Amino acid sequence: MSVHTNIPLRVHIVFYSSNFNELVKPAVRLFAERVYVAYDPNITSQKERRQLEHLIKESSVRPLDLYSEIEIAFANLRESCMIIGRICASELQNGNILFVNLSGDTQVAMIGTLLTQFYKCTLYFTKPDSNGNILENPEFPTIPVKRPDPILIRVLSELITFKELEHLKSITKKDCLELIRASGIHPLTGSIQSQYNILKARFLEPLQERNYIQIAISTHSQIEITPDGEFAAAIFSKH
């Protein structure tokens, strides 16, 4: 069970690899206290996962606060980033120190590289030297990402939550108005036409410009969340 303290934990996210040395030795050397192992069930067997878990737990310098497995599909880059991103956001929000092991195939490197543009984490990979030892290389460039307005992300998150609770494919502008008002994001006072004008200019148009939502051309009243919108809400809503 995870134990919460005021002392930052050293959290490692690793992606399952058949070369256990690439995963175990860096976690030991960097004093991992909490480990998340991302794996693809189409690639990795349960027996292999149990072997890795045993090695990491037995080799750890410090007792592990948590060892958790994360099921992802490496071929689905967007969904993988969303799943890992939620963990990154949660751990950083709790004040922990985050490390991401890039050892593995190209998909792993892509996921890790994307994540570091959004979250403060140390990336590293491993490689054998002439003596057969494992070396860590935490140096990796970070490209500044212009983050969306937090208010827009909050609106987006409210729309997604409502859509999921009501099992809807799209949301009406009227529902959007009520959600924004009820959540305290904006009072939306004045005439009905004035409220819709504010909704359009302040929220809907900026969300459309970023391709976070689409508005049905036929009715002009139905709002659909795009895959980019789902991704942005998952990545930005918690930090």
pLDDT (average), residues 149-171 = 94
Q: Is 69 helix (H, G, I), strand (E, B) or coil?
A: strand
d(CA 74, CA 85): 14
What structural domains does the chain harbor?
A: 10-136 (3.40.50.10770), 150-236 (1.10.10)
pLDDT value of position 162? 95
pLDDT of 239 > 70? The answer is no
> 3-state DSSP: the chain helix, strand, coil percent, rounded to 5?
45, 15, 35
Helix-then-strand count for the chain, H and E: 9, 10
175: helix, coil or strand?
helix
Instruction: Name the burial class of residue 108, with classes exposed (0-12), middle (13-18) and buried (19+) by CB atoms within 10 angstroms of its CB.
Output: buried
pLDDT of 94 higher than 80: yes
Tokens read off for 36? 């998340």
Query: pLDDT value at position 200?
Result: 94
pTM: 0.76
pLDDT above 70: percentage of residues in the chain: 88
Is residue 124's pLDDT more than 50?
A: yes
pLDDT for 81 beyond 60: yes
Query: 152, 227, 211: which is closest to 185 by C-alpha?
Result: 152
Cβ contacts of 148 within 8 Å, gap of 6 or more: 210, 212, 232, 236
Residue 30: pLDDT band with limits 50, 70, 90? confident
94: nearest Cα among 176, 4, 205, 214: 4
φ, ψ (nearest 5 deg) of residue 70? -120, 120
What is the predicted pLDDT for the residue at 107?
Answer: 81
Please give the pLDDT value at position 220: 66
